[in-house]
Structure 1
Amino acid sequence: MAHVNLSLQVIPRVPDERIYPVVDTVIHMIQQTGLKYEVGPMETTIEGELDELLGIVKKAQELCVKEGATRVLSVVKIDYKPEGVTMDEKIKKYR
């Protein structure tokens, strides 16, 4: 399957002072995958194979709970086209 882009925003239900540390843990997990990613102010976009990216979403949920979240709200956006899509092709004119 061709590369897709997946944007993930996790909102863990934790005390306010724990939100950034929990989100940082998720971002660190994404960094460890070796996939191309870009952290934004509201979400992190990752480039890769769809099945692998969906696995990352699942792992992010589990990680938030492991870090103390009693509930996790996630927003996921997927950009797919059969021949593949890259972050570079979408944002290179802005860089």
Structure 2
Amino acid sequence: MYTTSIAIQVLPDISEMDKVCVIVDRVIEYIASTGCNYMVGPFETTIEGDIETLMEIVKRCQEIPVELGAPSTKSYVKIFHNPQGLLTIAEKTDKYR
């Protein structure tokens, strides 16, 4: 049972669009490597898990762009936390696929 869902949009502060895409792809690769359930959307990636793990992922998503050459990064983060559980990504979106 998931207790937290986080949607994160990472915006590296870099003007070259090809570099932005490379950096965002690396952030998504990192998210995939965590083993958490996730779904990539056109503006943000949604991740499900426990709040402690997800907050560590959010932190790491800020560090990756800087390590890859962006002078800074901005992120928009939405958090839904419910200790009793929540609707999963699949429960919210499968009916539209």
Written as runs of structure 1 = structure 2, the 5 A alignment for 1:57-76 is 57-76=58-77
> Which residue of the partner structure matches residue 42 of structure 1?
43
| Distance (Å, rounded) in 2 between the aligned partners of 1:2 and 1:43 | 19
The answer (yes or no) to whether the contact 2:2–2:48 under 8 Å persists in 1 is: no
The answer (yes or no) to whether the contact 2:66–2:72 under 8 Å persists in 1 is: yes
Q: How many residues align?
A: 95
Give the superposition deviation at 1:87.
1.5
Secondary structure (helix, strand or coil) at the match of 2:63 reads helix
| Distance (Å, rounded) in 1 between the aligned partners of 2:91 and 2:62 | 29
The answer (yes or no) to whether the contact 2:38–2:45 under 8 Å persists in 1 is: yes
Cα-Cα RMSD: 1.5
Percent identity reads 44
* Unaligned residue ranges in structure 1 (runs of 5+): none
> Which residue of the partner structure matches residue 56 of structure 2?
55
Written as runs of structure 1 = structure 2, the 5 A alignment for 1:82-93 is 82-85=83-86, 86-93=88-95
1:29 partner amino acid: Y
2:13 partner amino acid: R
The answer to which of 34-43 and 85-94 deviates more is 85-94
**Normalized against structure 1, the TM-score is what?**
0.91
Give the superposition deviation at 1:2.
4.8
* Unaligned residue ranges in structure 2 (runs of 5+): none
